[in-house]
């Protein structure tokens, strides 16, 4: 996975969890390794259901969350406060018993795998699950590194599928990156699917380059606001450049907090 929690983004989620009355219900959708699930549970305030699509990832996440919570806060009864669900959140059928029962959903680095229809399905489910006027959605999407090239592409194409390639010059021992990367952006071809990431070293005129190809759905603040419609109001936006994310990060992130409006 290669991702780790980002304090600025996690702070928004965890501060909100901690400010809630006890035993409010939250979801972590696309929990991955469960880093946010653990944080939410350790506030001691929330009951969290963690959804993960991939079976192997799900099992690893479940074991990791249980172990970490027991180690750090043995006074919490993990069996009571956490639920683990393996499968596709977008196809789960929630009965009327779930309506309005949730105070928060975390969707961290997941929506860049989803097209507009999938994001729309997620928004519909979240709106149904949330307490009106109270529930908050914490959503972070990965975006290509901003720059002239990507900005031009984004202006011409709005949000949607994007292929981008980042080319970094390597030092002579191939252990470090020199200078500023070159980034090219275009529409992906048919075989280049979202989630595609491919890294290789290429030699050009006796120079070695680390080449990273990536395909994703990219979103902007405006496209997310459109997808959220009138069921949510964006109350906070955080833009993170690669340097805010980590020393090896080569992408950027857009993070929003949105409040469920009253119907």
Ligand X SMILES: C[S@@+](CC[C@H](N)C(=O)[O-])C[C@H]1O[C@@H](n2cnc3c(N)ncnc32)[C@H](O)[C@@H]1O
CB 139 within 8 A of CB 119: no
CB of 50 to ligand X, least distance (A): 9
Q: Is 8 in the site for ligand X (CB under 6 A)?
A: no
* 98: contact with ligand X by CB under 6 A: no
Decide if residue 31 touches ligand X (CB under 6 A). Answer: yes
Q: By CB under 6 A, tell whether 57 contacts ligand X.
A: yes
Please tell me the distance from the alpha carbon of residue 169 to that of residue 183, in angstroms, as a whole number.
Answer: 12
Contact with ligand X (CB under 6 A) among 16, 26, 84, 89: 89
Question: Rule CB under 6 A: which of 10-29 touch ligand X?
Answer: 29
CB of 35 to ligand X, least distance (A): 5
32 counts as binding ligand X under rule CB under 6 A: yes
Q: Is 251 in the site for ligand X (CB under 6 A)?
A: no
Q: Give 14: exposed, middle or buried? Use CB within 10 Å, 0-12, 13-18, 19+.
A: buried
Among the listed ranges 103-111, 148-156, 169-177, 247-255, the one in contact with ligand X (CB under 6 A) is 103-111
Judged by beta carbon, residue 30 or residue 144, the one nearer ligand X is: 30
By CB under 6 A, the count of residues binding ligand X is 21
Which of 209, 249 has the CB closer to ligand X? 249
Pick the stretch among 82-90, 145-153, 184-192, 241-249 that binds ligand X (CB under 6 A): 82-90
Question: Per CB under 6 A, which region of 109-117, 129-137, 152-160, 249-257 contacts ligand X?
Answer: 109-117
CB of 60 to ligand X, least distance (A): 10
Per CB under 6 A, 108 contacts ligand X: yes
- Residues forming contacts to ligand X in the complex (CB under 6 A) are 1, 3, 29-33, 35-36, 51-54, 57, 88-90, 108-110, 113
């Amino acid at each position: 996975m290669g991702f780790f929690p980002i304090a600025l983004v996690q702070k928004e989620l965890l501060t909100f969890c901690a400010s809630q009355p006890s035993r409010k219900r939250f979801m972590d959708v696309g929990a991955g390794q469960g880093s946010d699930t653990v944080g939410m549970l350790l506030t001691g305030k929330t009951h969290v259901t963690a959804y993960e699509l991939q079976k192997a990832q799900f099992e690893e996440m479940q074991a990791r969350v249980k172990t970490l919570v027991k180690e750090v806060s043995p006074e919490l009864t993990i069996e009571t406060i956490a639920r683990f669900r393996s499968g596709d959140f977008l196809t789960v059928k929630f009965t009327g018993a779930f309506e309005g029962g949730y105070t928060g959903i975390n969707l961290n680095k997941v929506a860049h795998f989803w097209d507009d229809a999938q994001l729309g399905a997620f928004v519909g489910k979240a709106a149904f699950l949330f307490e009106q006027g109270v529930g908050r959605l914490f959503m972070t999407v990965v975006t290509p590194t901003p720059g002239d090239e990507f900005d031009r592409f984004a202006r011409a194409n709005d949000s949607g599928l994007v292929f981008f390639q980042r080319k970094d010059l390597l030092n002579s021992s191939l252990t470090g990156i020199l200078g500023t990367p070159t980034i090219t952006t275009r529409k992906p071809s048919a075989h280049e699917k979202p989630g595609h990431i491919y890294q290789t070293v290429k030699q050009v005129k006796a120079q070695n380059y680390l080449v990273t190809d990536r395909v994703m759905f990219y979103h902007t603040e405006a496209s997310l606001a459109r997808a959220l419609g009138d069921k949510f109001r964006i109350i906070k936006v955080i833009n993170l450049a690669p340097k805010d994310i980590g020393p090896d990060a080569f992408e950027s992130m857009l993070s929003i907090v949105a409040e469920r409006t009253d119907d």
